[in-house]
A and B are shown apart, each in its own frame.
Chain A
Amino acid sequence: MPTTFNRREFLKRVAFASTICGGATYLAWAPEDYPLSLKDFTGARSIPKPQQFTLPDYRVTLPPGVPEIGIGRDMTTSGRLTKALDAIGGLTQFVQPGDVVLLKPNVAFDRSPELGATTSPELIEVLIKRLLIDCRAQEVRVADNPIESPADCFAKTGIKDAVEKAGGRINLPDGNAFRILQTPGAELIRSWPCFYRPLIGVTKVIGVAPVKDHNLSGASMGIKNWYGLLGGQRNQFHQDIHTIIADLSIMIRPTLTILDGSRILMRNGPTGGDPAYVKPWDVIVAGTDQVAMDAWAFVNLLQRDESKLPHYLYLAEKKGGGKIDASNRILEVS
């Protein structure tokens, strides 16, 4: 430390002080679009901007002449699945070697599979094995955001065992797993938190939904299944259930949708709970047009009157989610 205060020292201190002050003044007062400016005069800059993403179209183009919807009837799950998939050209049409596939079953409640409230684990197991062995998919992920405890729901429905046996991987939702999804064209979920983590790096998406009665909307089938990817305060959606389901039909464009008609929940949906409400059946529907599939399942699996088709199907058709009329696009194998 210098003992005397000379000019050089004086200048050094002045330079130091003015650099600090000048720098601070620039950072605090430079217009907001200047580089390094920290000015936030209105407070608008400090409003957090959530990370957003959009979903690509997961559909694959099929050769002309192949029916869009296949219906398989058989005594065994794998037989049903084979027949349904063969009708639309086989699973290898949809999933190529190296694909990362996301399966979205319905695991909303902690019910045993016999009660028909969730996708049957046998189907999941068979499907994952086919994806990994026949289609040589690189990875199969299984994800859902259930209403009840996720870990429990996957365990009690038997899906966890099935997935682990077949070699898939389960993604459970947690606080960090959601991100805002942009859905242009949607009414209610133009931007809404969506279960994002399992979708990272995914190239193909397959919905595997049970066919269930649903008290408010009429029926919960292929389209309603995507509700399980939503996060946030989704219990608000019941205020306009038909619009939200119609939005779901365009939120994600899955490669393939499979409706599991092994156990059909006829009443007291979507929770069920009494084996008497469940109708064991022998059908699996596979296809690319969810709207037509849901309409077909509503009439033929839930055996409701065609004139009472859920309103959301008409809304979904209007939004471009698919077409209700399935004639000439459907092939039944039994």
Chain B
Amino acid sequence: MPNVRLFNPKRRRINRKHISRYEIVCSLIILFSLAGIVLWVATRKNLYDSARQDVSLEALKHVSSLIVLYQQPFKPWQLTDTANPSENMDLGIFPDSVASDRWLPKSRVKTFDPQNLYVKINGEAERFLRHDFKQLSYLVLQSSDQIEEISIELYDQGSIAGSSGIFAEHRSPDSTVEQEGPNTYFETGIGLIGRKDHFFYRIAGNRSSESIRSKSRQVVQSFSELPAPESTVAFGYQLLEELNIKPTEIRHQAVNVFQYDFATDFWFGKPDTAQQTEVFVHRAETKDNAQQLLDRILEEHQYEYRIIRRTENLAVLQHNFLKSYFIIALQDSFIFGADKTPDQETSFQLLEMIGRALPKE
């Protein structure tokens, strides 16, 4: 291998003999400016706006949830040669007679419980949970021509108190409530809303048509087959029913009775459908609780009512403007009475009627 140099063998050297003072001064100036440049670069480090590299949470919140997408329904597997995909479908709690040849289940029954009810009815969930909601079964029926659809929401409210409470919240004053066997319901434009025992249900079609209306009524009929309540009928309901008040006129109010947040769990019934008058009954836990509740109600009522008569466990009041009467009484741990009666006699009659029916302790 011939020995060839790889690198430059020459050393740097200066031939000139004189370096002027100006050159030194210039050199120093240049050195300082170089140092200045390096320093300038180094100081740039933190001069930046980190917000440019991210979106502010406010901007995100501003557009949050604006876009809602429609999710195609899940398509379950079906044998290609079976014409009727719903034949073997398990309808769950729904009676088999809900489906028919003309009305086929569109998807499997979905159930929701208190933990995930909001998934189905986001805003409304609270309303149902207030009334002891237990379970929602959801089924969509599709007409055989695939044009019409009926969605059926069947809520298990746990008790008659729950179901009648949520039912009362749904009905408007001008809806005509019908009673058919154990079912109580009223029709809406596209279906109907009703209750049976501890069940509450809403049936709604995708449009207003006669076939949907008749199918809705048929569904209600088949709901008679729904299992009867395991628990005994609530005391207030039983009591008011004994007083010959129609089930359609019995309602339960769980909270905010008379608009007071301390009054809960009252049963109301209208003895006469045509009139405003309502009787009510409540069972407190102890006699002392009942006494306290009575005192508080009377205390609060004084802002709107004039006390006509007051004894230890009975009070009659008259509304300042409406002039209707309000009577309330205490017996054992029960509080009961009548509201919006036209005159004092009726009040006392109603009070006596309830008092007799109350169980003795």
Contact = CB atoms under 8 A, between A and B. Distances in A.
Do chains A and B make direct contact within the complex (CB under 8 angstroms)? Answer: yes
B135 to A, nearest CB: 10
22 contacts: A112-B54, A112-B55, A114-B57, A115-B60, A156-B53, A273-B60, A274-B60, A274-B64, A274-B65, A275-B57, A275-B60, A275-B61, A275-B64, A276-B61, A276-B64, A276-B65, A299-B115, A303-B115, A304-B115, A304-B116, A305-B113, A305-B116
Contacts of A114: 57
Interface string B91-126: 000000000000000000000110110000000000
Contacts of B60: 115, 273-275
Among B55, B57, B60, B113: residue with most chain A CB under 10 A: B60
Interface in A145-162: 156
A305 B54 CA distance: 36
Interface of B: 53-55, 57, 60-61, 64-65, 112-113, 115-116
Contacts of A299: 115
A156 B113 contact: no
For the complex of A and B, 10 pairs with smallest distance between CB atoms:
A276-B64, A276-B65, A303-B115, A274-B64, A275-B61, A275-B60, A114-B57, A305-B116, A275-B64, A112-B54
A299 B116 CA distance: 10
A273 B57 CA distance: 10
Q: Which bucket holds chain A's interface residue count? A: 10 to 19
**B interface, over-half SS:** loop
Interface in A233-283: 273-276
Interface of A: 112, 114-115, 156, 273-276, 299, 303-305
Contacts of A305: 112-113, 115-116
Contacts of A156: 53-54
A112 B64 CA distance: 15
A303 B57 contact: no
Contacts of A115: 60
B115 A112 contact: no
A112 B55 CA distance: 9
B65 A303 contact: no
A274 B63 CA distance: 8
Given A303-B115, A304-B115, A305-B115, 18 more contacts: A112-B54, A114-B57, A115-B60, A156-B53, A156-B54, A273-B60, A274-B60, A274-B64, A274-B65, A275-B57, A275-B61, A275-B64, A276-B64, A276-B65, A299-B115, A303-B116, A305-B113, A305-B116
B133 to A, nearest CB: 14
B138 to A, nearest CB: 13
Contacts of B65: 274, 276
B207 to A, nearest CB: 31
A276 B60 CA distance: 9
B129 to A, nearest CB: 13
Nearest to B115: A303
Nearest to B116: A305
Contacts of A273: 60
A299 B115 CA distance: 9
A48 to B, nearest CB: 36
A163 B112 CA distance: 42
Contacts of A274: 60, 64-65
B66 to A, nearest CB: 9
Nearest to A304: B116
